[in-house]
A and B are shown apart, each in its own frame.
Chain A
């Protein structure tokens, strides 16, 4: 239950625009008669607007969109109903999604465990002065300022991290870091984990780049942060809720880093990656 300022502004502008057209049309056009040309253009707009939405969405989609659209179209032509196509089209898209999902699961690269007590010494390095230690299968940081940084570099991947923080904890997951010894929001993309951060770029945001539209909280319970990085497109989700998306070409590949800084504590477990 929350209101987010840019969202509310957008909604109110939409409301103003809608009411402006409803009332403004009467107000204006009873005083100034629109030319026949304007009336003609307006008469084509609703249909063309829907076409402009549907065509790129269907063509740019995948098998799910193609089959769903065909079934919806067929239904509306056969039945003349505008209700049934919603169900048949969605149902068809859903079936394709299930089939494709099953096929892909068999082929897709498997998730690999990145961080474990067994590989911590050989595949990760500590940068900074945090005394990282393992506790019940999770990597714990609760004093100092620093990172654990992967030796390997990654470019296109889906990363999943389970994390437990406190509200005041300043943590974060850094990806595509150019310099393993110098981890910063400038040298990497920093996905923030900091619930009580005042001002911008709290949990779920990519620091200095894009702010989460919704107020997300990771503290108090184990939360799953996923980051999908493919080409210049980044997608962040927290507990499966979309946080941010970013298109940016600054960093194409690099190290991964997990942060702890200052007060509170952070625990990481099940850090897994799947190449794309």
Chain B
């Protein structure tokens, strides 16, 4: 893509991003609480839980990882499960090229750290409208990051106060969250077969390899490949 006007990175652009963020903050709050609470239930210390939220900064990846967290932690399966969840970022980054191509050094690489689904969608709209100030992405990402870290801290502290074991229904909140996020992901009939395959494969793998996260990784890949095959055979 070529740009008629130069891309800028200004304080004003940052502030415009900040002003666009409040609706996204309210949505993120319960997920942060659930992430902190779940981390506490799986024996992560306050520092570990906070480190995770601050450096990973990806709700669904954290919840998936914590969902398969066991004591002692399996480094490979947990990291892989969270990585798989984040593969979509690979496809999102390039669409911001009209801005990123014109940024250098920390401005570009820090901007990408603050890219999550919601502010990415906002940024794309801005790019389409012809907005030239790339600081918008960081501006909308930083408040989300702050709320994310603070809400997971509050979640962890609440977990410590309540003193619940892993079987406690409070931790069903993580599963509720997944169901809540899953439904809007439904894009139509073309999702039916891939989802069925993903769920069935995951169920079989979870029985074969209990207490691991492989069923999530393998199920997701099986579903993705089914989607591809279905498209090849029955282009719609």
In the complex, are the beta carbons of B70 and A14 less than 8 A apart?
Answer: no
In the complex, are the beta carbons of A14 and B82 less than 8 A apart?
Answer: yes
In the complex, are the beta carbons of B203 and A3 less than 8 A apart?
Answer: no
Nearest CB in chain B: distance from A222 CB, A = 16
Q: Chain B at the A interface: mostly helix, strand, loop or mixed?
A: helix
Chain B 19-32 near chain A by CB (<8 Å), digits 1 or 0: 00000000100100
Q: B159-176: which have CB < 8 Å to A?
A: 163, 165-166, 168-170, 172-173, 175-176
CB neighbours (8 Å) of A244 from chain B are 71-72
Chain A minimum-CB-distance residue to B214: A52
User: Is B139's CB within 8 Å of the partner chain A?
Assistant: no
User: Is A93's CB within 8 Å of the partner chain B?
Assistant: yes
User: Is B149's CB within 8 Å of the partner chain A?
Assistant: no
Known: A73-B183, A82-B181. A56 touches B215 (CB 8 A): yes
Among the 9-residue stretches A106-114, A155-163, A206-214, the one with 4 or more Cβ atoms under 8 Å from chain B is: A206-214
Inter-chain CA distance A50–B219, complex, in Å, is 9
User: Is A250's CB within 8 Å of the partner chain B?
Assistant: no
User: Is B147's CB within 8 Å of the partner chain A?
Assistant: no
Chain B 55-94 near chain A by CB (<8 Å), digits 1 or 0: 1111011101101001111010011001111111111111
Inter-chain CA distance A42–B70, complex, in Å, is 28
Chain A 196-212 near chain B by CB (<8 Å), digits 1 or 0: 00000000000000111
CB neighbours (8 Å) of A20 from chain B are 83
CB neighbours (8 Å) of A243 from chain B are 71
Q: Give the contacting residue for B224; candidates A21, A41, A58; CB below 8 A.
A: A41
Interface of B toward A, CB cutoff 8 Å: 27, 30, 34, 42-48, 51-52, 55-58, 60-62, 64-65, 67, 70-73, 75, 78-79, 82-94, 96-97, 100-101, 109, 112-113, 115, 163, 165-166, 168-170, 172-173, 175-187, 191, 194-195, 197-203, 206-207, 210-211, 215-228, 231
Cβ contacts A to B, 29 pairs, < 8 Å: A3-B48, A3-B51, A14-B83, A19-B112, A24-B90, A26-B100, A29-B93, A37-B228, A40-B227, A41-B227, A45-B88, A45-B220, A48-B219, A49-B85, A51-B202, A51-B223, A52-B199, A52-B219, A53-B178, A54-B199, A64-B172, A72-B175, A72-B179, A73-B183, A83-B30, A85-B176, A90-B170, A212-B71, A244-B72
Given contacts A85-B179, A244-B71, 20 further A-B pairs with CB under 8 A are: A3-B51, A4-B45, A17-B79, A19-B113, A21-B89, A27-B93, A30-B97, A42-B90, A42-B224, A44-B227, A45-B223, A47-B185, A48-B194, A48-B197, A50-B60, A51-B182, A54-B199, A90-B169, A214-B43, A242-B42
